[in-house]
Amino acid sequence: MNNLPLYGKIEKDNSNMEGYGVNEKMEILRQLPSVDKLINSTEIRRLDGEFSRRIITDAAREVLEETRQAILKGDIIRIDDEDLLAGIFQKLKHESSDRLKEVINGTGVIIHTNLGRAPLPEKAAEKISRISSRYINLEYNLEDGERGHRNDIVRDLLCRITGAEDGMVVNNNAAAVLLVLSAMARGKEVIISRGQLVEIGGSFRVPEVMEQGGAVLVEVGTTNKTYIRDYEVAIGENTGILLKVHTSNYRICGFAHEVSGAELVELGRRHGIPVVEDLGSGILVDLRPRGLGYEPGVMDSIRAGMDIVTFSGDKLLGGPQAGIILGRKEYIEKIKKHPLARAVRIDKFTLAALESTLRLYFDEETAFREIPVLRMATMSLEELERKARALKDMLEDIHPFALVKTEKEYSRIGGGSMPVEQLETRVVSIMPHNMTVNRLDEQLRGYAPPIVGRISQDKFFIDVRTVFDDQVPVIAEAVREVIIGGEAG
Ligand SMILES: *Cc1c(COP(=O)(O)O)cnc(C)c1O
């Protein structure tokens, strides 16, 4: 490990270390103070009330151990108590800083799974903070003073917005699919097109989820073409459901055919078999009038007559991580009663955020304005241009040290949604003269708050589409500090 902190005097010139033997090292080791002496020093005693003795003792032990190793390696040849104390302070400071923190997303990937997918609408965030430190009516019916159910909080909203007959919410969409299969198809056959046996990422693979749900997979058709008759001939005594899975993160183009939801529903009805669709993203608005491509909408599936539809809360819906299950009452009732439902139930913060986010869909203009994912996906080129130019102008004074330009580039929806959609965007590109682009990238990731961009053709890119307005000056300040600061240092 080359990033081991050193708590002593360092001998950099290794040639002096020759003949520097075991005895000398032992002598230095003997000079190390004891843990007790360190933690009872006046400097450390001042930390009482801030850190427990156990935490302080652990930090002191770690610093001593690292110092011991450094001595044995010959990196430290003189003990310095002040350095040891500084080491303990540093460790405790690191200990008390949050690991989970705000990050500035300059990648242009709107639903960035590694960066927490959808940033919540302000209203949803406020709602969480308002209810989380108080008691709430999570499972309490205020009208009759009896026990209520947490699902009731968003069920009516979901039904009103989508036209579904009934609905429920769970922890995420993976859980929703697993629960639906377990409740509706355990020990039964599930018919699915070969072209839809997808892997979503993070090890969610449709065939494996089916196995977990105790269902028997019956593949029909081919990778590129599946027809309704392929499903029909596969139907047998033990068929539990017909399943359609949206191939969220890839597209089969060219010589291809997929069976529509409506066709599948018609077939299911004729044979008395429920039809289930895993939509993945599950968008509640139509993006086409705003210049984007088609993503299968929740309402389209409900209208087509799907018995059950599942989708995520934190993809194109733009809310918190959740799995939403909509559909016919008789199936929802059955799913609710399954023992797994309790294991994958939604928590109160998520429920609060989901309720607030869903309410924004009462009016489509409000949804596009207040839900960050929708706003970012449909941001106008003029706004992108303006934002990029503002950032570039704030970086005017770094010109001697870097070439800063605004350029045309493409953003992505991300989160395995609309994989072929290319959204024209504007980026600010920075080509530093006084450091490598990798160094700039690394320094910006280490900034508070961390800034994540993209590197391409030896330039560092900030795509302003995924940057919030108040973050623009923060990025400018960070870049200036790293590039000009790098010059001064
Ligand atoms: C994303 C996705 C899932 C998993 O949803 P999570 O909310 O991430 O659990 C399942 N199926 C499809 C088709 C998806 O796109």
Residue-by-residue pLDDT tens, the chain, 489 positions: 334 455 655 554 444 554 568 888 899 999 999 999 999 999 999 999 999 999 999 999 999 999 999 999 988 888 888 999 999 999 999 888 899 999 999 999 999 999 999 999 999 999 999 999 999 999 999 999 999 999 999 999 999 999 999 999 999 999 999 999 999 999 999 999 999 988 876 677 888 888 889 999 999 998 889 999 999 999 999 999 999 999 877 777 788 888 999 999 999 999 999 999 999 998 999 999 999 988 889 999 999 999 999 999 999 999 999 999 999 999 999 999 999 999 999 999 999 999 999 999 999 999 999 999 999 999 999 999 999 999 999 999 998 999 999 999 999 999 878 877 889 999 999 999 999 999 999 999 999 999 999 999 899 999 999 999 999 999 999 999 999 986 654
Q: Convert 326-362 to b/e letters by CB count within 10 Å (16 or more is b).
A: bbbeebbebbbebebbeebbbeeebbbbbbbbbbbbe
The pair of structure tokens assigned to 15 is 């040639």
Any idea which residue has 């909408």 for tokens?
297
Q: How far is the CA of 133 from the centre of ligand 1 (A)?
A: 31
Using DSSP, state whether 119 is helix, strand or coil: coil
- Quick check: CB of 174 below 6 Å from ligand 1? yes
Any idea which residue has 């923190």 for tokens?
101
CATH number of 122-370: 3.40.640.10
pLDDT for the residue numbered 35: 95
- Quick check: CB of 200 below 6 Å from ligand 1? yes
Domain ranges across the chain: 11-95, 104-111+377-488, 122-370
Is the CB of residue 104 less than 8 Å from the CB of residue 110?
Answer: no
Beta strand 423-432 with 402-414: parallel, antiparallel or unpaired? antiparallel
pLDDT for the residue numbered 7: 63
Give bridge partners of residue 245 from the DSSP assignment. 278
Which atom of ligand 1 is closest in space to residue 245's alpha carbon? 13
- Quick check: CB of 282 below 6 Å from ligand 1? no
Neighbours of 324 (CB within 10 A): 29
Is the CB of residue 18 less than 8 Å from the CB of residue 87?
Answer: no
DSSP assigned state of 208: H
Residue nearest to atom 7 of ligand 1 (CA): 173
Q: How far is the CA of 179 from the centre of ligand 1 (A)?
A: 13
- Quick check: CB of 245 below 6 Å from ligand 1? yes
CA-based R_g, the chain, Å: 29
User: Taking the model in full, what pTM does it have?
Assistant: 0.89
Q: How far is the CA of 281 from the centre of ligand 1 (A)?
A: 7
Residue nearest to atom 3 of ligand 1 (CA): 280
Distance CA 7, CA 85 (A): 8
pLDDT for the residue numbered 9: 53
Q: Under the phi-then-psi rule, with left for phi > 0, alpha for psi from -120 to 50, and beta for the rest, what region is 278?
A: beta
- Quick check: CB of 172 below 6 Å from ligand 1? yes
Q: For residue 217, give every residue at least 6 positions away whose Cβ sits within 8 Å of its Cβ, in sequence order, or none.
A: 189, 190, 192, 207, 210, 211
Query: Cis (ω within 30 of 0) for the bond into 449?
Result: yes
- Quick check: CB of 312 below 6 Å from ligand 1? yes
Is the CB of residue 326 less than 8 Å from the CB of residue 309?
Answer: yes
DSSP assigned state of 111: E
472-488 helix and 381-394 helix, angle to the nearest 10 degrees? 30
Q: How far is the CA of 309 from the centre of ligand 1 (A)?
A: 12
Domain 104-111+377-488, architecture per CATH: Alpha-Beta Complex (3.90)
Residue nearest to atom 12 of ligand 1 (CA): 280
Q: For residue 61, give every residue at least 6 positions away whose Cβ sits within 8 Å of its Cβ, in sequence order, or none.
A: 35
